[in-house]
Amino acid sequence: MQDPFDQKKQAILNEITLNSEDNLDASPKGTIDEHCIPIINLINSDPNMVTTSSCSGRVSVFLEGKKQENDTKIIAKGNEGRWLFVTHDTSDLNNWYTKVDFKYHENQFPPQDNNHRSISFKFEPLILHVKCRDLDQATKLYTCAMNNGFRESGIGSNFNVAIRISIKLDIPIGYYENDTEELISFVSESYLDYVTKLSFERFNENFKKLDQLYKSIECLIKSSSSESSSSGITKKESKEERRQRKIREGLQRQQETKKLKEQQEAQKELEQ
């Protein structure tokens, strides 16, 4: 009978393999962030770990939902709450506000009533959720994350490790007028340029930390492999490990094909 962890890992890897623009997952983006693919493949190469969710970092502009009566939550996400803009790539950031139908009423703040809903500019950094085989593996991964500055990390139930870092932004920039159905910005475009600059800086720090974490986890995996070898265990690739490797390689080829297609389309546009 297959080990419960191995069964869970196999099911997750099957989902990762099938994920594409034609088969979206439940996340707002719908597909795995390209920046996360190398570290996902690395973690999933270890027989004692598997990634369950990830986000490489993103900028979003969020319109909060309508609050229900007696709702004590600070921000309502449901009930018509939605993203006005979201990207995981810095190439989409310049002048992002031209893609949102803002009316600019500088320093005109909404009255405190239920007829207005807040709009926030957010930068949210890398987050990884990793399921580990046991507490020993979870502790090793948690320690690795903490040593690399991911101070918001923790170990949850069933040896699930959340890897997080606190370099976020969450800034109110406007509101939605229910009566007129207008998106009002109470800050100027120059201010929006300023917070965009701040998000660029955080993206740079975020990707620097991601690279640092990758190298540290790579060392952790190599160290674990060395310990297994020194204990006299001859590690051969099992049928399941070979299958998982093929899944990782297939995902990598899928991303490479996508990039090649985008390059070919860009070249065609230049030639026209």
Q: How confident is the model at residue 176, as a pLDDT?
A: 93
Q: How confident is the model at residue 23, as a pLDDT?
A: 55
Q: Is-contact 167 202, C-beta < 8 A?
A: yes
- HEC-encoded secondary structure of the chain: CCCHHHHHHHHHHHHHHHCECCECCCCCCCCCCHHHHHHHHHHHCCCCEEEEEEECCEEEEEECCCCCCCCCCCCCCCCCCEEEEEECCHHHCCCHHHHCCEEECCCCCCCCCCCEEEEEEEEECCEEEEEECCHHHHHHHHHHHHHCCCCCCEECHHHEEEEECCCCEEEEEEEEECCCCEEEECCCHHHHHHHHHHHHHHHHHHHHHHHHHHHHHHHHHHHHHHHHHHCCCCCCCCHHHHHHHHHHHHHHHHHHHHHHHHHHHHHHHHHC
- Per-residue pLDDT of the chain in tens (272 residues, 90 and over written 9): 668 899 999 999 988 877 566 555 555 565 788 899 999 999 999 999 999 999 999 999 999 988 766 655 555 566 778 999 999 999 999 999 999 999 999 999 887 776 789 999 999 999 999 999 999 999 999 999 999 999 999 999 999 999 999 999 999 999 998 888 999 999 999 999 999 999 999 999 999 999 999 999 999 999 887 766 555 544 556 666 676 667 666 766 676 666 667 666 666 665 55
Tell whether the torsion through CA atoms of 10, 210, 35 and 89 is positive or negative.
positive
Q: How confident is the model at residue 249, as a pLDDT?
A: 66
- Pick from 176, 61, 187, 170: nearest CA to 110: 176
> Using CA atoms, how far apart are residues 109 and 185, in angstroms rounded to an integer?
9
Task: Tell me the backbone φ, ψ of residue 50, rounded to 5 degrees.
Answer: -155, 135
The per-residue pLDDT for range 178-226, each reduced to its tens digit, is: 888 999 999 999 999 999 999 999 999 999 999 999 999 999 999 887 7
Q: How confident is the model at residue 24, as a pLDDT?
A: 54
What's the pTM?
Answer: 0.76
End-to-end CA distance of the chain: 59
Q: How confident is the model at residue 15, as a pLDDT?
A: 85
